[in-house]
Structure 1
């Protein structure tokens, strides 16, 4: 877990996912990198709520990246909530069960051009580290995308690095095992409600590993890394 890299690069890029043009932020935090493509598509039955992600390449640092946007409106959250609290889990393409909204949202982007874009970037840069990131809903989509990319052999698992902030539970224990193949850092603040949803009683489990902050998360603040997805020493205290 690289706190400096997360705070100075990936957290700003997660924020940049919420604006129509992430390029200025990307150029600031990773000078010399290039925005590749941005996708924004309807991602639920309303036809109005959209999900978004963008890809980037940094030739000098040998990195490619994929960042997902989180929930952007009360209307979208109100449509997500039943999927979190009452909808039956949905079969995930690479094994296990996933939260229906997160699964459908990620694959709406993937099948809408993102998958082709990611495959092309991986073919062009098979030896590059692949950073995948997102906040909240974006964190769940990033997680499912990372699991899919790894399990489908789109990019070498050893080169995949996942960072999420405020990620809800997004699948069952079987799906969680897919995350053992690559590096995953699920950053959790002790006052954040999102990581406690949906409930374990619904059959959902967090994947490993958790980076837990029981403070303000300011630079230099301590954190605990918990290897287990549902660790009683971290967010489940």
Structure 2
């Protein structure tokens, strides 16, 4: 079972094209980073700073962002967990193929929360986004919404999303959510888990785990608008995209600090650190002062651990040691 954090906001933004937009995708990173902010009152300031950095004005839209993996330990749990367990996914009395049960449970819970908002704002554009397991939950929730409201304007941008379903559901995505995009950073190994065979570079078939299209592969460590490849719009396991990476390159990233850094860094931002800084919008000294005022409370075991972790992490990022005094 996964703990879900959803950031949702109805705000002013530009309309989203049905084709991949590097600009829109990069803006979604701010929403993904916002989902990494801690569960506390101050996180609204941080999250709003990330939101406003992406879209200061424009037409009305709703963005749902789902939190994902945090670090190496979470990556290892993803690799050695039960993502290779599947159950039939039934929607509207129709079976759409086999899906990981934990992703289904998390997505169902998320959809129950956001469905009233979707139905009451049918004329809006909806974007679902998320990182890692959050991307998997975001994608299944987006598909659920699209199947419920065929005319809904729904787009999907995920980052470092693992495999969590079989080929039949990949076809359902292709037929119903054509503007869904899976962004992959260079040799990020998580999108290749679970493996389709005995190797990360093994080819997937209709009888194994299978990604939905369209993969957007940034084939260099630095992610910019000149080094990405638009992969097949009909095959989520395009052999000419990230599946073409050599096995040694994948092994260097599996269960290592290097791999965790690759997985956590999208559009040149380490997502958890970036979110904790309000996407670079909140001055370090402002956050450090806020943390310092709560320092005594952090020594109290009854105080929320998220607040203490947030203070220590942010002060470390700002090189401000007074929070530890």
- The partner residue of 1:93 within 69, 90, 98 is 90
Counting matched residue pairs gives 200
TM-score by length of 1: 0.76
Matching residue of 1:48: none
Deviation at 1:73, TM superposition (A): 6.4
Radius of gyration: which is bigger? 2
The gaps in structure 1 that reach 5 residues or longer are 33-59
Higher-strand-fraction structure: 1
How far, CA to CA, are the matches of 1:216 and 1:77 in structure 2?
19
Change over 3 Å in CA distance of 1:71–1:93 after alignment to 2: farther
CA RMSD of aligned residues (A): 2.2
How far, CA to CA, are the matches of 2:24 and 2:168 in structure 1?
30
Change over 3 Å in CA distance of 1:219–1:126 after alignment to 2: same
Matching residue of 1:197: 193
Matching residue of 1:50: none
Contact 2:75 2:190 (C-alpha < 8 Å) held by counterparts: no
Deviation at 1:175, TM superposition (A): 1.1
169-178 vs 68-77, greater mean Cα deviation: 68-77
Q: Secondary structure at the match of 2:223?
A: coil
Higher-helix-fraction structure: 2
Q: Secondary structure at the match of 1:96?
A: strand
TM-score by length of 2: 0.57
Matching residue of 1:24: 49
Deviation at 1:77, TM superposition (A): 5.3
Deviation at 1:74, TM superposition (A): 6.5
Contact 1:64 1:121 (C-alpha < 8 Å) held by counterparts: no
The gaps in structure 2 that reach 5 residues or longer are 1-19, 198-206, 245-325
Shift >4 Å, 4+ stretches: 73-80
Structure number with the bigger relative contact order (C-alpha 8 A, sep ≥ 6) is 2
Alignment of 1:64-143 (within 5 A): 64-72=62-70, 80=78, 81-85=80-84, 88-94=85-91, 95-111=96-112, 114=113, 118-143=114-139
Matching residue of 1:210: 215
